[in-house]
């Protein structure tokens, strides 16, 4: 074997060794980030947009996909208005586990929600410290309820008969239960249903 050929082999071997060493020192590639939720992950019942109570900013309900949702039609001058306090307490207690309460003011029953959006928002916050999402006043019963309520009524066969009727939607977008106005936020029936939905 010629001296030149031997030198070439030595250079080649050193190159391979240096390459292998460099590869060993190269840090492993970081794991790929988790894939974002597919576009179709929002359940049909949440594919709605409503104006936020305090500023009329459009809100896509798909932002609550994957959560347990308690939908309530509210009013400021009703015998059940004090339920705001219990609803806020429930939201504060369970929001970290995936619960969201959505309030829909309505003047459908006894004209007990006559105010403007600002008046309603100020009342809810100043009187009961409401922090759960609230939406602009709308119709929830009769011939032309808002689109969300059309679906809630269809799913349960139950139309709100008064203020503070409640619908419970599970994480998959199924409407699992409906509760009348007299069922308070601290009622064992409602609390049990919420906790069961959160556990699924």
Q: Catalytic positions, please?
A: 78
Query: Contact at 8 Å (CB) between 77 and 107?
Result: no
Half-sphere exposure at residue 184, Cβ-oriented, CA atoms within 13 angstroms: 11
Phi, psi values for residue 32, rounded to 5°: -65, 140
């Amino acid at each position: 074997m010629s001296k030149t050929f031997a030198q070439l082999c030595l250079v080649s071997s050193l190159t391979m060794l240096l390459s292998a060493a460099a590869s060993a020192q190269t840090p492993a590639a970081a794991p790929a980030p988790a894939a974002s939720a597919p576009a179709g992950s929002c359940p049909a019942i949440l594919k709605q947009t409503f104006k936020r109570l305090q500023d009329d900013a459009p809100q896509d309900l798909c932002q609550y996909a994957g959560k347990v949702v308690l939908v309530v039609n509210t009013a400021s001058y009703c015998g059940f208005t004090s339920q705001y306090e219990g609803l806020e307490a429930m939201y504060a207690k369970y929001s970290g586990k995936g619960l969201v309460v959505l309030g829909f003011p309505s003047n459908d029953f006894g004209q007990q929600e006559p105010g403007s959006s600002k008046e309603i928002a100020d009342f809810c916050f100043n009187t009961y410290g409401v922090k759960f999402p609230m939406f602009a006043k709308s119709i929830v019963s009769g011939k032309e309820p808002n689109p969300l309520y059309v679906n809630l009524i269809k799913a349960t066969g139950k139309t709100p008969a008064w203020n503070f009727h409640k619908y419970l939607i599970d994480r998959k977008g199924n409407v699992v239960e409906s509760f009348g106005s007299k069922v308070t936020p601290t009622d064992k029936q409602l609390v049990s249903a919420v906790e069961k939905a959160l556990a699924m």
